[in-house]
Amino acid sequence: MAILVILAIVGLVALTLAIARLYSHLAVQERRVVGAWDQLERLLVQRNGHLQQVCTEGGDRGPAALRDLHRSLQRQETARRQGDLTTVAEAEREIRSLWDLISSQGLDLKAEKEGEAGRRVAALDQAIRDTLVRYNSALDAYQRTRRAPFYAPLAWLAGMGRYLPLQPPSSDKTSR
């Protein structure tokens, strides 16, 4: 009888450790998704701040696309704060196409400011693309794990979040 009690206790401890290991693995995957999203948000805020400064410096004398860019930046910021990934992606496509249009037309700013803004935005755009790839990759791994037979009930019980993929802009002519 004592052996059965000891075996039951050992079995419960082993089961508890197995569940803790599964949960830990799932939580690490979720943290990777959240971390990539946080990085993406930081980069979007930085890049959009530079673009907003260009819009402000261009003022009313700049091309009409500057005003459209300003509206798209505001739309994306609102969507980002609300967690509306579909609108974030749509606004991102608008922002990139408008920036390409504005860059090709040239701005009525000092040449060094225009060149500096272009370099900063280009560098941040590349970082955004790279982070977008990391986000979607982490999300894919998380979703596969979350759907696995032993993980699915655990994810449901733990209230693990469901996240959506964020697709890169299709109108991006600088992608490789």
Q: What is the C-alpha separation between 27 and 142, in angstroms, rounded?
A: 9
Q: What is the C-alpha separation between 30 and 49, in angstroms, rounded?
A: 29
Q: What's the average model confidence in pLDDT over 57-86?
A: 82
Which range, of 45-59, 105-119, 143-157, averages the lowest pLDDT?
Answer: 105-119
Q: What is the C-alpha separation between 63 and 65, in angstroms, rounded?
A: 5
pLDDT band (50, 70, 90) for residue 54: confident
Q: The pTM is what?
A: 0.75
Asked whether 138 and 33 are in contact (CB, 8 A), the reply is: yes
Domain spans, the chain? 22-158
CATH T-level topology, domain 22-158: de novo design (two linked rop proteins) (1.20.1440)
Asked whether 89 and 167 are in contact (CB, 8 A), the reply is: yes
What confidence tens digit (pLDDT) does each residue in 85-143 have?
888 888 988 998 888 888 777 665 555 566 777 788 889 989 998 999 999 999 999 99
Q: What's the average model confidence in pLDDT over 7-36?
A: 93
The residues near 126 (Cβ < 8 Å, ≥ 6 apart) are none
Task: Supply angle C-alpha 170, 64, 79, rounded to 5.
Answer: 50
